[in-house]
Amino acid sequence: MPIENTLSIIKPDATKRNLTGLINAKFEKAGLKIIAQKRLQLSEDMAQKFYEVHKDRPFYNDLVSFMTSGPVVVQVLSGNNAVKLNRDIMGATNPEEADAGTIRKEFAESIEANSVHGSDSLENANLEIAFFFAAVELFS
Ligand code: ADP
Ligand code: MG
């Protein structure tokens, strides 16, 4: 299986509740390696750009407010099939539809405050990693 890199974000609802370690334990237990990581406060401009694909959705402005409401942890996860594996560990967008044992089932507060972001394709993973990290910041 191909080694892939994917972008993961631990969202403000989770950093506020001190869940960074419990969430990352799930990624590491599944074999994903954290090869880059930083904690930062997103500006409104960054959050708008990051979620630009959703700009016409009714929840866009709320989503930008939520993502700037506290610190986030942005990180690069690496491993076999990392894009899909990360999405599987995260669970469905709506925690009510997420499978047992997934991050969103266990920790999400709502469909918006759902604790984690994960890239949805390899192409988007590369774009999203470049949005937050310089190539020299990735451990290889
Ligand atoms: P995912 O994060 O699972 O890839 P999307 O890309 O569809 O989901 O949406 C991006 C983020 O926007 C979600 O993770 C969630 O925080 C928020 N969101 C999605 N759908 C809704 C909704 N119906 N109401 C409020 N927030 C939403
Ligand atoms: Mg998405």
CB of 109 shorter than 6 A to ligand 1: no
Please give the positions annotated as active site.
Answer: 117
pLDDT band at 140 (very low <50, low <70, confident <90, very high): confident
CB of 120 shorter than 6 A to ligand 1: yes
Q: Residue 78: beta bridge partners?
A: 5, 33
Mention every residue, 6+ apart, whose C-beta is less than 8 A from residue 51.
Answer: 60, 63, 64, 67
CA trace torsion 18, 132, 53, 14 (10° rounding): 0
Alpha-carbon span 85 to 24, nearest angstrom: 13
130 exposed, middle or buried (CB, 10 Å; 0-12, 13-18, 19+)?
Answer: exposed
Q: Ligand 1 pocket check: which of 61, 112, 116 to mutate, most ligand atoms within 8 Å of Cβ?
A: 112
pTM reported for the whole predicted model: 0.98
Alpha-carbon span 95 to 105, nearest angstrom: 5
What confidence tens digit (pLDDT) does each residue in 14-44 have? 999 999 999 999 999 999 999 999 999 999 9
Share the mean pLDDT of the chain: 98
Answer whether 87's CB lies under 8 Å from 125's CB. Answer: no
